[in-house]
Amino acid sequence: MIPLSKIQVSPVKEKQFEKKHITCVEELATFFPRKYQDFRTKKKIKDLMDGDVCRIDGVVTHIYDNAKFSLQLDDGSGYIYITWFGGCFFKDSFERGALWTFCGKISFYNGQPQMVQPVMVCQGENKLAHIHPCYSKITGMSDKYLSEKIRASLSVMAATASWTEKDAVAKAMGLMERVAAYQEMHQPSSEDSWKKASRRMNFEQIYDFYEALFKRRQNKAFVRAKPMFKREVMDAFIKSLPFDLTVDQSKAVESIYNGMNQEMPLNALVSGDVGCGKTAVALIAALCARENGGQTIIMAPTLVLAKQHYDEMSKLAGSDGIALLTSEAKGKARKKILAGLADGSISILIGTHAVLSPELQFRNLALSIVDEEHRFGAAQKALLSEFDKTGAHHLSMTATPIPRSYASSVYGDCLDIITIQTMPKGRKTVITTVDHKRPDVYQKLLEQVKLGHQAYIVCPFIEDSESERFKDVLSVKTVVDEVQQFLHDNAPMYKADSISGDMKQKDVLAVIDQFARNEIQILVSTTIVEVGVNVPNATAIAVMNADRFGLAALHQLRGRVGRKGDQGYCCLVSDTSNEKLAAMTMFPSGFKIAEVDLQLRGPGDILGSEQTGDSKVVDMILRYPKLAAAIRNYFQTKE
């Protein structure tokens, strides 16, 4: 992996990139646009319509530098005002009589066309047809800086590229060359080229996925595990639980136990719906390993999720021998954990990617459990594969339900599929509605709070966007202000607060702890609560601009409420209604939602809102079965 310092990224900017899981040049090169704007169409000013997204050329006739900076541009057919709020950092570049090109969205003010905050600016006549990339916002980082570093990463990738086995396979399949595909994904020259580049990027992720699967199977074929036959303590623990295991949980436990008492190391995926009880199954497997003299490592992609696992497992099994390790653990606390792993007094270690540190020396590692493995980067997955060489059993858990018929086509015989569909006894189906008026939604949430319950509100953005395109998209900042005012006017005894990805981890955990203690009744957040936040007293959730979220994300968010048997409510707030939102109101099962999601979404096109770089690899395999089958067959022929 090439460090970001290679392209002159400062330590401060490295931390900003890290929040988007970008830790090296290779990951930055694959930070693809979330969507594109098409500026290939050039229009005459006289032909402009409200809402047009286009390119215009013209001569600067007037310059206005007041509270807002603006230009008057004339192309011979009419004139338009180009406006920047908050100033324009390159305003000194403009001169009257000079020819300029601007790209952006057209609106009208007092009957005159205007372009506010143009996306692209170019001196002279820009004759190139252009498709402009739009990236996810990185807190503290300007779009200009991000674009510069992405270009730098592409240059480094081109200069250091070497021919690999993967490239040979791609060439045999007639796919675009890798570095050229990176370039096309960031700066498409045409829709056809973008589709070819997108196919190559799909190949990259699917290839890496199957390579890891087959490597894991090969590693386990050459090592032997110590069979785990003892189960008296495990069975006693199951009987002591304050709840009965569901039918599918019991089957999962038996499947895992039967796999762990073999010499061939277990390699299994536990796929379950939201709230089906995967954590309890993971804990039982870890206790089985402990009973047989082994240690377990449980890794989660976020500190919030890792802490949830630690809290739940400690509550059920006691904290003796269970430890939480994160990157924030320092000094004596860290040394104590390292010593406990080495002497065996810590039998279950839970943490984030910090558990992959080479400092960690286990006395007898017997089981690795990885939650949401698809969310880890290539570097972490490479370190994870080292556990396979020790003969440790491996469980991968996912809260993304994968129907069994699809799972077999994705994984083949590379690993065992363990599915948990039955829900805990007493769990009620969450009532899901599509709502259009925010005040009515706030009132619904307040009714639940008055009954002694709590509520979530989820927003797409952290802060309001300056872009005209997102003027109707709600942010955490706007909504928490609205809700606090609503409570002040209607129920001042209750409190609302917020969390978001730009906050420090310790501050996020502090707010979540307050929410868990019911010191905060309404929690406003981004999708940071999608996994890892478990407050059983929460019975209602409102998702703002719900039409902007994927089906899988909406279902995950819905699973945050009604977790202790109370009736749960999910309000999908949107100005529009569509098949996706209708499916949420019709189907409570995550497995059914997964099927509908696949049916509703085709391969997409260049101007789609969600591009390949953000797709989960399993979803990608299901969407492109022929490509996946060709790659899977290649690895099978190598065995």
The CATH number linked to 42 is: 2.40.50.140
d(CA 239, CA 246): 13
Amino acid at 94: F
The parent domain of residue 354 ranges over 232-420
Number of Cβ within 10 Å of residue 88's Cβ equals 20
Residue 315 shares a structural domain with residue 396 = yes
Residue 317 shares a structural domain with residue 337 = yes
Residue 400 shares a structural domain with residue 499 = no
**Alpha-carbon dihedral sign for residues 158, 160, 163, 168:** negative
Q: Where are the beta strands (DSSP E) in 362-489?
A: 365-371, 393-398, 416-420, 431-435, 454-458
Residue 586 shares a structural domain with residue 446 = yes
DSSP 461: B
Residue 387 shares a structural domain with residue 249 = yes
* DSSP string of 248-277, one letter each residue: HHHHHHHHHHHHHTSSSPPEEEEEE-TTS-
Please report which confidence band the pLDDT of residue 171 belongs to, taking 50, 70 and 90 as the band edges: very high
Residue 317 reports pLDDT greater than 60: yes
CB 579 within 8 A of CB 624: no
Out of 134, 163, 190, pick the residue that ends a domain.
Answer: 134
What is the widest separation between alpha-carbon atoms in the chain? 88
Q: pLDDT tens digits, residue range 193-230?
A: 999 999 999 999 899 888 888 887 777 777 888 889 99
d(CA 134, CA 570): 31
* Percent of all residues in the chain with a pLDDT value above 90, rounded to a whole number: 53
Q: pLDDT tens digits, residue range 365-395?
A: 999 999 877 677 666 777 777 777 788 999 9
Residue 381 shares a structural domain with residue 480 = no
Out of 84, 118, 134, pick the residue that ends a domain.
Answer: 134
d(CA 376, CA 439): 39
Q: pLDDT tens digits, residue range 127-143?
A: 555 788 889 888 889 88
**Alpha-carbon dihedral sign for residues 628, 171, 198, 8:** positive
Task: Calculate the CA dihedral of residues 104, 108, 113, 116 and round it to 10 degrees.
Answer: -40
d(CA 552, CA 570): 14
**Number of domains observed in the structure of the chain:** 3
Number of Cβ within 10 Å of residue 556's Cβ equals 22
The CATH number linked to 470 is: 3.40.50.300
522 found inside a domain: yes
d(CA 227, CA 218): 19
d(CA 536, CA 73): 59
150 found inside a domain: no
Residue 410 reports pLDDT greater than 90: no
273 found inside a domain: yes
Residue 372 shares a structural domain with residue 465 = no
d(CA 307, CA 383): 22
Residue 402 shares a structural domain with residue 480 = no
Q: Burial code of 388-413, b = ≥16 C-beta within 10 A, e = fewer?
A: beebbbbbbbbbbbbbeebbeebbbe
Residue 549 reports pLDDT greater than 80: yes
Residue 457 shares a structural domain with residue 402 = no
Helix (H, G, I), strand (E, B) or coil at 103: strand
Residue found by looking up tokens 């129907």 in the block: 403
CB 138 within 8 A of CB 16: yes
Q: pLDDT tens digits, residue range 222-253?
A: 788 888 999 999 999 999 999 999 999 999 99
d(CA 240, CA 219): 37
Residue 400 shares a structural domain with residue 540 = no
Q: pLDDT tens digits, residue range 481-531?
A: 999 999 999 999 999 999 988 888 889 989 999 999 999 999 999 988 887
CB 182 within 8 A of CB 29: yes
Phi/psi of residue 124, nearest 5 degrees: 90, -175
Out of 420, 445, 476, pick the residue that ends a domain.
Answer: 420
Q: pLDDT tens digits, residue range 85-97?
A: 866 666 778 889 9
Residue 415 shares a structural domain with residue 346 = yes
d(CA 195, CA 10): 34
Beta bridge partners of 457: 524, 542
- Which structure tokens are listed for 167? 């490239």
Residue 435 shares a structural domain with residue 408 = no
Residues 6+ apart with CB under 8 A from 487: 446, 494, 495, 496, 522
User: What is the bridge-based pairing of β-strands 454-458 and 416-420?
Assistant: unpaired
